[in-house]
């Protein structure tokens, strides 16, 4: 965990408040993140599984650059939306968010998104991709919530990426078309099952587990936290 100061605690509690909000169909809540993926192609085709023998993969591979997986997870419905792109620029971010809004949530009042504080994750990204009128409208349809610096563990999207890495990206994939095919197949199956994350960590637990940090920042917190036991 990063250095825990008052700003870290404030942002952490804001994230936990975000998770504690009741479900509102007009205010969907998404957790967003993006992950670079190396494209690695086999030099020699792997040997398939044979009776009594495991599959074998040659140590040599070819680097074919990188791609980026953009993922938004709806914590109320257990649905996730993914795109695979060559880069993660402001334009890529703007296009992804525009697609999610218009195709998945066309009739909502506002779309709330929890994410980290990269310079691409801002309303200005809309202005670099769309005309000013469209960008202005989009900026008012999104409400952004941010994790603390080095606080990605608070983002449910990280749990989704952990599952994606284990269930789908645990082998070499040599080109972006194959990566997209595999990732979208994983998303389709996970959405079919409506897999939901059971998030249990809340503000009272946070204050107890991080009591020494709260107390260091303000000694009065010791009595407050003890009284909740």
Q: What is the CATH number of the domain that holds 178?
A: 3.30.420.10
* Domain range enclosing 31: 27-198
Task: State the chain's mean pLDDT as an integer.
Answer: 90
Assigned domain for 81 exists: yes
- CA dist 165 and 171 (Å) reads 9
pLDDT, one tens digit per residue, over 129-171 is 999 999 999 999 999 999 999 999 999 999 999 999 899 887 7
The total number of structural domains that make up the chain = 1
> How far apart are the C-alpha atoms of 168 and 99, rounded to whole Å?
24
* Predicted TM-score of the model (pTM): 0.87
What tokens does 88 get? 């993660």
- For residue 101, give both structure tokens: 């809004």
Which of 37, 46, 107, 105 is closest to 67 using CA atoms?
37
pLDDT value, residue 127: 98
pLDDT value, residue 4: 92
Per-residue pLDDT band at 224 (split at 50, 70, 90): confident
Show the tokens assigned to 66: 């990188």
The rounded radius of gyration (Å) of the Cα atoms in the chain is: 21
Between CA 49 and CA 209 the distance in angstroms is 47
pLDDT tens by residue, 161-200: 999 989 988 777 878 888 899 999 999 999 999 999 999 9
228 part of a folded domain: no
Digit-coded pLDDT (tens) for 68-94: 999 999 999 999 999 999 999 999 999
Q: Is there a domain that residue 168 lies in? A: yes
Whether 42 has a pLDDT exceeding 60, the answer reads no
Number of CB atoms found within 10 A of residue 10's CB: 10
What is residue 43's three-state secondary structure? coil
Give the whole-number percent of the chain exceeding pLDDT 70. Answer: 89
The answer as to whether 49 is a domain residue is yes
22 in a domain, yes or no?
no
pLDDT above 70 (res 1) = no
pLDDT score at 58: 52
């Amino acid at each position: 965990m990063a250095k825990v100061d008052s700003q870290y605690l404030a942002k952490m509690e804001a994230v936990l408040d975000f998770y504690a909000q009741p479900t509102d169909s007009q205010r969907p809540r998404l957790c967003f993140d993006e992950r670079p993926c190396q494209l690695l192609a086999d030099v020699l085709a792997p040997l398939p599984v044979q009776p009594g023998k495991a599959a074998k993969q040659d140590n040599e591979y070819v680097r074919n650059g990188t791609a980026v997986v953009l993922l938004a997870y709806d914590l109320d419905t257990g649905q996730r939306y993914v795109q695979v792109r060559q880069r993660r620029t402001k334009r890529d971010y703007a296009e992804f968010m525009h697609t999610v809004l218009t195709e998945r949530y066309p009739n909502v009042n506002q779309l709330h998104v929890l994410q980290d504080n990269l310079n691409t994750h801002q309303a200005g990204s809309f202005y670099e991709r769309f005309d000013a009128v469209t960008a202005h409208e989009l900026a008012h349809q999104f409400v952004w919530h941010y994790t603390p610096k080095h606080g990605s563990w608070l983002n449910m999207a990280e749990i989704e990426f952990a599952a994606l890495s284990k269930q789908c990206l645990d082998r070499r994939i040599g080109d972006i078309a194959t990566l997209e095919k595999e990732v979208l197949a994983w998303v389709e199956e996970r959405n079919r099952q409506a897999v939901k994350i059971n998030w249990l960590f809340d503000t009272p637990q946070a204050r107890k587990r991080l009591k020494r940090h709260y107390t260091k920042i303000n000694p009065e917190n010791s009595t407050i936290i003890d009284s909740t036991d």
